[in-house]
Amino acid sequence: MKVLLGMSGGVDSSVSAMLLKEKGYDVIGCTMILYEEEKKAVEDARKVCETLGIPHYTLNLKKEFNCCVIEKFINEYKEARTPNPCVDCNKKMKFGLFYEKARKLGCDYIATGHYARIEFSKKYNQYVLRKSKEEKKDQTYFLYNIPKEELAHIIFPLQEYENKEKIRNLAEKKELDVAKKKDSQEICFIKDNDYKKFLLENIKEKPKEGNIVLKTGEILGKHKGLINYTIGQRKGIGISYLYPLYVIDLDCNKNEVIVGKEEELYQKTLLAKELNFQVKVEDEFECFAKIRYRSKEAKAVVRRKNEEIEVEFTEPQRAITKGQSVVFYDKEGIVLGGGVIS
C-alpha cells in the first residue's frame, strides 16, 4: 500500500516515516513548501529519507497557503477576531490539497506526524478521529475539519505512543539527525511568534487609535489599535482603575476595546458557524466541548439553529473568543465535530 507522508523536517514526521516503512508500506516523503523560510526543514526531511531509503519530494503550495491561511489570518484580525491558522492549514493544505495530490499519485493513504488516533468505531459504524494517548500533545482540536470521508485514508503512525520521549528515543536508535531537534513554534509563518509585529508589517491599513470603554460606555482612555488586544488580556491595557481591568470584548464597528472585571469574561453560551461534523449527530446533543487548544473540555449541550449552532455549557467558560474554534468530543474522546465561534 502506497503512503504519501507529510514531512516537516521534525522528529515526529521523521519517526512516522520510519514506522511506516517498518510496517511494510511503500512510503513517499513529501515536504510542503508553504512560506519562505523552509530550506532547513526541506534539507532535514531529505536527509531522513536518504537514511531510510525512501524517495523525497517537495510540493510548492506557497501561493495557496498565502491565500487560504495567511490572508485569512490578517483579515480576521482586521475584523477584531482571533483566528486559528493551524485549523485552516489542516483543512485547506494538509488534508485538502495534500490529500488531492496523494490521490492523483495513486496513493492509498496520506500520513502525518500528528498526535491523534484514527480507528474504526462500532458505535458510529465508521472510522473516527480520537484523542491521542499522549494527552499533553493531543492535536485533535486542530483536526476537526477533516472531512469524515477522508478518515479511512489517513494514517497517524504515532497514535500508539504515549509520550514524546519514546518518539525521540526511536529517532536516536535509528541515528536520525533530527532526534534532538526542538519542536516547531506555534505559528509556523510568524518568526518568534510575534504576531503583532507580523500584522503591523502586513496590514496595509495601519491600526487606528480608539477608545477603551466600560460596558456602560464610560471612556477610560485610548487604545493603540484593535489588533494589539485579545479577549481575556490584562497586561498592556495601560489604565489604572478601581479594580483590575480585562479585555472583555472588541467592537470593530465602533473601534472600541471594552474592558471590565474578570467575572465579566465568563459566559455559558456561544454561537458557532463554518461547521464540520465527523459523525452523525442529533439536532440537540450532549458532549464535552473545548473552546481553545490549551483549555479543558467542559460539559455542554449543542443545538442546531439553521446554519449555525448554539453551545450551552454547564459551567461558565472564561474568555470565549470569536474566531477560535469550538470542538466537540464524546465521553470516549472521539471527535464529533466543531465550528468557528461567531
Write out the catalytic residue numbers.
89, 188
Other C-beta atoms closer than 10 Å to the C-beta of 254 total 12
Helices 11-22 and 164-173 sit at what angle, rounded to 10 degrees? 70
Other C-beta atoms closer than 10 Å to the C-beta of 275 total 16
Decide: 96 and 103 in contact? Cβ < 8 Å: no
Burial level of 124, CB count in 10 A (0-12/13-18/19+)?
Answer: middle
d(CA 113, CA 265): 36
What are the beta bridge partners of residue 277? 337
Question: What letter represents residue 176's amino acid?
Answer: L
Other C-beta atoms closer than 10 Å to the C-beta of 100 total 11
Helices 71-78 and 195-202 sit at what angle, rounded to 10 degrees? 90
d(CA 259, CA 244): 10
d(CA 270, CA 298): 13
Question: What letter represents residue 149's amino acid?
Answer: E
Pick the closest to residue 14 from 158, 163, 142, 151 (CA basis).
Answer: 158
Question: What letter represents residue 108's amino acid?
Answer: D
**Which three cell numbers, joined as nine digits, stand for 134?**
499522549
147 Cβ neighbours under 8 A, 6+ residues apart: 95, 276
Decide: 328 and 287 in contact? Cβ < 8 Å: yes
DSSP summary character for residue 87: H
